[in-house]
Structure formats: structure tokens, C-alpha cells
Amino acid sequence: MKKTIALLLILILTAVALAGCGGDAKPEGEGGEGAPETTVLKIGASTVPHAEILEFVKPILAKEGIDLQITEYTDYVIPNTAVESHELDANYFQHVPYLDSFNQENGTHLVSAFAVHYEPMGLFAGKTASLDAIADGATIAVPNDPTNEARALLLLEQEGLIKLKDGVGLDATPNDIVENSKNLKLFEAEAAAVARSVQDVDFAIINGNYALEAGFKVSDALAIESADSEAAQTFANIVAVYEGDETKPAIQALAKALTSDETKKFIEEKYQGSVVPVF
């Protein structure tokens, strides 16, 4: 009888010990030893193509323990103020000239962490089907903000439709047109609205991202900014961060993912020239 009781006590103590050991162990990947720590990286972006490109790299970053959280915006102000206030870690929608202007006007402290792509402006047919058929006095819709209107004017000059004052470059305005043999008329509208005016004008010069949103393809354009143009070199779209944050490991990991060969292939195949990698 005593032997039986002793044996039972041994079995009970052994079971308790094993249960205790089992309770301390956690499977790898579920908070146990060796599980990677997750870093949340919040980024704001325009829907097309920026958010789409970010969605592509999201699983790449997840493998490195980075949870990329993407918030989409339809304006060009809130994504910057949100980075300034640290509600976002970064944003991806703008080029350096716009960023510099925004900082100057708003006293913000944002910098470019790295460049990803540029979106060539395109000249699209409206009521007139081709540039060969352009009539005297034809109307061309162009963005009305200084930066994009200058790009539109340079594109018209690139196609031989107007001549600008020498050296005006990206500071060009309609007042800098010195030759206009076709008496072209400019219909100025907000960049986002130009695509909606196509049916009402002979031609429209549309920003790449708005052309994509409106369902246009670069192959539809009668002319686009050349890859070696001043505009293409200047207006590459960047990831912007608060000054000093560009060296953070998560931002560096984002840079690596967004400028990888895989991402370059994705951009080239998906956008077919409407979005051009600059890396």
C-alpha cells in the first residue's frame, strides 16, 4: 500500500513538472524566443500609383518585421502636415520642388528620403484626334499651378507647337511664349480637373497620376515628356519624412524595398510607361 501511494506521488509530481515546463514554452513566431519584433511604419500616399506601389512592397517589408500601414489621400496638403505632426512616418506623393515650396510657405521641416519614379505628362487628344489635324486657334487644357503649367508649356515647345523665351525652363509662364504660329489658346484648370475637360477642348496635357486615374494610358498620348527632359529629371516622386528621420532603419528598409529590382519590374509591367522608375 505504501509503495502504491509513493508511486502515485511520483507520477503526480512528474506531471506537474512537465506541465510547468510546457507552460513556459512559446512557439516561435508567437511571442516566444526568436520571434521578430514588429515595427509599425505609417505612410500616406496618393491612390494611384503611389499606394498601389506601396501595397506591392508591403509583404516584402512584413518579412523584415515591418508592418507598413498605408493611408490614402486625395489632396497634397494633409499628407505633409501629418508627417510634420508625426501622425505619419512618411509620405509618398510629391516631388522635391513642391516639397521645398510647401516647407517655405508653411514652416515645415520635411526632407526627401529617396526618389522612386516620375510620371511623364502626356498630351492627349480631345475634340481633335491628332497633332497633324491641329487647327488655327485650337484650345489646349493645361494645369493652372505654376510648376505643372511650366511643364505643359515645355511639352508644347518640345512638340514644336510654341516657342518660349530662351532659358525660362521650369519657370515658364504663358507670358514667356514668343512664338505661337497656330494661335493656340490655353484653357487653365486645376491639375486634377484637366482630365475631365478632354471632351471640351482640342487637346489636354495631363499629369501622369491623374491620367491613370482617368483611365488613360501613356500609349494613348500623342506626346509625352521625354525621359531626359528637364522636367523628368526634376520632378521624380519622392518619399518624404520629417528632417532627421531619413536614417531610421524602417525608412532605410522602405527605401531598399521601393528601389528593388522586383519593384522596378512591377512598375514597368503594371504601368507600361505611365510611371517610370528613376533607380
pLDDT over 90 (residue 24): no
pLDDT tens digits for range 255-266: 999 999 999 999
Provide the 3-class DSSP secondary structure of residue 207: coil
Spell out the residues 6+ positions from residue 87 whose beta carbon is closer than 8 angstroms to its own: 42
> Do the two domains 39-119+234-277 and 122-226 of this chain adopt the same fold?
yes
36 band by pLDDT with thresholds 50, 70 and 90 = low
pLDDT over 70 (residue 189): yes
Task: Give the rounded percent of residues in the chain with a pLDDT score beyond 90.
Answer: 72
For domain 39-119+234-277, is the CATH number 3.40.50.1370?
no
So what CATH class is 122-226?
alpha beta
pLDDT tens digits for range 93-129: 999 989 999 999 999 999 999 999 998 999 999 999 9
Query: Closest Cα to residue 232, out of 145, 122, 142?
Result: 122
For residues 102 and 150, give the distance between their C-alpha atoms in angstroms, rounded to a whole number: 18
Q: What is the mean pLDDT of residues 187-191?
A: 95
| Size of the chain, expressed as the number of residues it contains | 279
How is the chain split into domains, by residue range?
39-119+234-277, 122-226
Q: Which backbone phi and psi does 276 adopt, to 5 degrees?
A: -120, 120
More confident residue, 235 or 136: 136
Note if the bond before 49 is cis, omega within 30 degrees: yes
Q: Are 239 and 141 in contact (CB under 8 A)?
A: no
